[in-house]
Structure 1
Amino acid sequence: MASISPGIPHPRPELADELEYQHGFGNECESEALPGALPVGLRSPQRPAYGLYAEQLSGTAFTAPRASNRRNWLYRIRPSVKHGKFETAPDGLLRTGPIRDAHTPAAQLRWNPFPIPAKPTDWVDGLVTLGANGDAQMQLGVGIHLYLANESMTDRFFFNADGELLIVPQQGRLRLHTECGVLQAAPGEIAVVPRGMVFRIVLLDGPSRGYVCENYGQAFTLPERGLVGSDGFANERDFMTPVAAFEDREGDLELMTKYCGRLFACRIDHSPLDVVAWWGNNVPYKYDLARFAVINTVSVDHPDPSIFTVLSSCSHTPGVANADFVIFPPRWQVATDTFRPPPYHRNIMSEFMGLIHGAYESRPEGFLPGGATLHNCMLPHGPAAEVHEKASRARLEPTYLDNTLAFMFESRYVIQPTKHALQAPELQADYADCWAPLPKHFMGRPKRGPR
């Protein structure tokens, strides 16, 4: 089993943890927590070692092309079918696309950070949906949530049948115990859990907050580089997958699932994280966003934000994503004779933004870490008035944007806000006022002609 080489320092020592990982994106990996637990040369032996059960977890149809096929073989103490009867559970503030409890306004939206509850709240109970699009049962679109938690999941486990989960911590480190092993994600890192995989989350720093993109569509993959060539953007080697680690414990435990937009719960008398060995490519993984190799202009003009795409969920239309995960990290700005912040624009894609730390260059006031903005299809947006004025007069010398890490969940479908999101006190009623002071600079005159 592969692990981090001890002689290679972590690029950000504060994010280093004691866990072992395998490296690479989309790799066919294998791992065993006990020697000989992993069968060799076959998938389903008549009697697996240690009295284990063989079980497959498929992330795609059996007949999906080899390049996109995702599946795991798990060798576990008990098969996953062994649990109690699922009963409906309270959905809380968790919602699923299509959203039907509110109309989508023709307005730019921005929220202040939502507070972490004072009462005991674990990661599942702390999910709050801000918006969604598409249809989970049709396997297209996304759900966009916050998690607001102050309690670890100790005797509670969860799997999401509606989509894979891209988790973006903003406050507090998370330790994810999954069927494939244990991984850790801190603010500035992301973690992805495949559709249907069981996990529980431990909070390492107390009260925690972050963002979740629930991807109903095709699993996230790395975007093509095109003319950039063989390197740059997110490199495969920087993605990290856990090694096998199992829980062999019994008790009065709870297993929850999100299924067709509803939460269900059942009793289970053992930990479902009892996988002793596994092999395949349908795996959870983590990624340090600081390892993203930014590609930027070295001549003129502000490039499209697509150059900051880390992960992409494809749709049936080439080049038009079901969902993109885009980041705006520290970077050099050197373009000449150029308005350097993002220009004013209207876009057929819909954009949800979050802020992990620092300030966002286009709107440094009012967009706070833990907050969010939503600019839906064809709604104009861009720099606040004072940012435009400053950038229009700035001396154009090489500038390093530091102390910033924003991100965007972008989708081809309109993101419908939930009723709770539209009625929340965190919604800023005066967001559009940031553009109101934009003056008229026009100095020309209309041509005279026939009337």
Structure 2
Amino acid sequence: MNETLSYLHGFGNEHETEALPGALPQGQFSPQRCPYGLYAEQFSSTAFTAPRAANRRSWTYRIRPSIVMGEYQPIPHEHWCTAPQQGVAVPPNVMRWDPLPLDDQPMDFVSGMVTMAVNGDAKAQHGVGIHVYRANVGMGDSAFYNADGEMLLVPQQGLLLATTELGRLQVGPGEILVIPRGIKFRIDPLDGPIRGYVCENYGAPFILPERGPVGANGYANDRDFQYPVAWFEDKETPHRLITKFCGGFHQAMLGHSPFDVVAWTGNSAPYKYELARFNVMNTVSFDHPDPSIFTVLTSPSDTEGWANLDFVIFPPRWMVAENTFRPPWYHRNIMSEFMGLIEGSYDAKESGFEPGGMSLHNCMTPHGPEAAVFEKATKVELAPQRYEDTMAFMFESRYAIEPTPYAQRCPQRQQDYLRCWDGLKKHFNGQA
């Protein structure tokens, strides 16, 4: 075995890494004979003919080709759902949930997955699935890959080790992990049970949003994204490969570890990002900009500026706006918003929105600060204020987000969520 010693850096850049000296061929990608008797195998997560700037592929040099495997057999998964949903009524109501519990019964990353909402169509490659992952045991000799979409993991509790074909990454709360569509991986808890959120992105791969007039710096910077270095196992023991394809789950048996890539080069690979490295842009005069200024990653759609999915965070920051209502204003939005809370509290909802919880405000459904927050924000003295002990995020999509039957009926759904606005009073007096 070879231990990971360092990370490669840089979002979407071409990388090369080898776990054994000289394992990476020089001068060409597929020589007649690869070093160490390895096989060359290209992994492509975009079409071969995608424009150069958007093309994503990596060449892997592995002990066996991936096709050395058994026949797939279907297996069930009770709570992992895929778009489109059939025959599910979707109300426009605001919804909020308490954290899903971490059960005592053994569950790993795959078996503990629960779908809260979906949109789009996985087979047509647009839209997303939104899930909660929970695990109290590792995946053992099982590996998983998702042919339906890339996976964005947002840990909320516990440190995890992601073992992938291209190397290993440790990820915990305050970080995110993105695993490309089709990459094999295994998730193991490192310090107790783990829980977090998953965006299963059926659409275009995540990219960094444009900065526009902000210029060359700010938001998420390329240099802060970390990629694994090559790491491999040469184990000839039975392994199980679980695959999600067209919404169904299948397993195939292997006689060896699938984590046998000795070297790789390319730009399609798992990566992690520490959210504290996000360089927040904000107002220094009056009013405050749209929440799009907090976008870390975006999955574009076929309409410019209307994202298949934006991943947006609300991190610790200064608020200094003059003569301004500082919490998020009341609004109705063409985009649909699914929020989660990693730690602390969220400034628009001071009670009832707990770390590990979730909320859904769908297309054109009105929402905004609860009544108590409105009253407080309209009367407070507006001195510079530091927002500490907070990290909320939002999955925002141009497509309506459809809660699953499980999400609509589970005991964690707060049936009285709408009541947090009951205290909003009429202040109109007919005078300027």
TM over 0.5: yes
CA distance in 1, matches of 2:431, 2:33: 86
Equivalent position amino acid for 1:90 in 2: P
Equivalent in the alignment of 2:335:
349
Give the corresponding residue for 1:413. 399
Report what 1:262 is aligned to: 248
In the alignment, which of 360, 371, 375 is matched to residue 346 of structure 2?
360
Please give the per-residue CA displacement for 1:32-79, whole angstroms capped at 9, x wherever unaligned. 001111001111111111111100110100000000000010000000
In the alignment, does 2:62 pair up with 1:76? Answer: yes
Once residues 75 and 370 of structure 1 are traced to their aligned partners in structure 2, the CA distance between those partners, rounded to angstroms, is 39
Structure 2 Cα separation of the partners of residues 396 and 22 of structure 1? 44
Q: Could you give the per-residue CA deviations for residues 339-381 of structure 1, whole angstroms, max 9, x where no partner exists?
A: 0000000000000000000000000100000000000000000
Q: CA deviation at 1:103?
A: 1.1
| 1:247-326 correspondence runs (5 A) | 247-326=233-312
Q: Show CA shifts across 1:93-122 (max 9, x none).
A: 000011225211120000000001211100
Map 1:41-190 to 2 at 5 A: 41-100=27-86, 102-190=88-176
Say whether the 8 Å CA contact 1:298–1:335 is kept in structure 2.
yes
Aligned residue in 2 for 1:387: 373
Deviates more, 1:338-347 or 1:80-89: 80-89
CA contact (8 A) 1:101 1:418 kept: no
On the 8 A contact 2:4/2:167 being kept in 1, the answer is no
Task: Confirm or deny: 8 A CA contact 2:339 2:359 kept in the other structure.
Answer: yes
The equivalent residue for 1:371 is 357
Q: Report the equivalent of 2:177.
A: 191
- The offset of 1:18, in angstroms, is 7.8
Report the Cα offset of residue 302 of structure 1: 2.1
**Distance in 1 between the 2:4 and 2:41 partners?**
29
Q: Is the 8 A contact 1:314 1:321 kept in 2?
A: yes
Query: Runs of 5+ in structure 2 lacking a partner?
Result: none
What is the distance in 2 between the residues matched to 1:43 and 1:19?
A: 25
User: TM-score if structure 2 supplies the norm length?
Assistant: 0.98
Distance in 2 between residues matched to 1:203 and 1:243, nearest whole Å:
21
The answer for the alignment partner of 2:194 in structure 1 is 208
Q: CA RMSD in A?
A: 1.2
SS for the counterpart of 1:422 is helix
Query: In the TM superposition, what whole-angstrom CA distance separates every residue of 1:111-139 from its partner, at most 9, and x where no partner exists?
Result: 00000121110001111000000000000
Query: Residue 228 of structure 1 corresponds to which residue in structure 2?
Result: 214
Q: CA deviation at 1:398?
A: 0.1
Distance in 2 of aligned mates of 1:188 and 1:104: 32
Structure 1 match to 2:417: 431
Which position in structure 2 is the counterpart of 1:240? 226
Name the CA distance, whole Å, in 1 between partners of 2:103 and 2:168.
26
Equivalents in 1 of 2:85, 2:332: separation in Å? 23
Is the CA contact 2:4–2:230 (under 8 Å) kept in the aligned structure 1?
no
- Please tell me whether the aligned partners of residues 324 and 409 of structure 1 are also in contact (alpha carbons under 8 angstroms): yes
Measure how far apart 1:394 and its partner are: 0.6
Maintained 8 Å contact 2:40/2:62: yes
Tell me the CA shift for residue 19 of structure 1.
4.7
Work out whether residues 4 and 228 of structure 2, in 8 Å CA contact, stay in contact via their aligned partners in 1.
no
**Residues matched between the structures, number:** 430
Say which SS state the counterpart of residue 421 (structure 1) adopts. Answer: helix
SS of aligned partner of 1:137: coil
Instruction: Work out whether residues 4 and 168 of structure 2, in 8 Å CA contact, stay in contact via their aligned partners in 1.
Output: no
In structure 2, distance between residues paired with 1:49 and 1:117: 47
Q: Name segments (4+ residues, structure 1) moved above 4 Å.
A: none
Post-superposition Cα deviations, 1:148-188, rounded to whole Å, max 9, x if no partner, equal 11011120100000000000000001110111100111100
Q: Aligned equivalents of 1:178 and 1:398: distance in 2?
A: 45
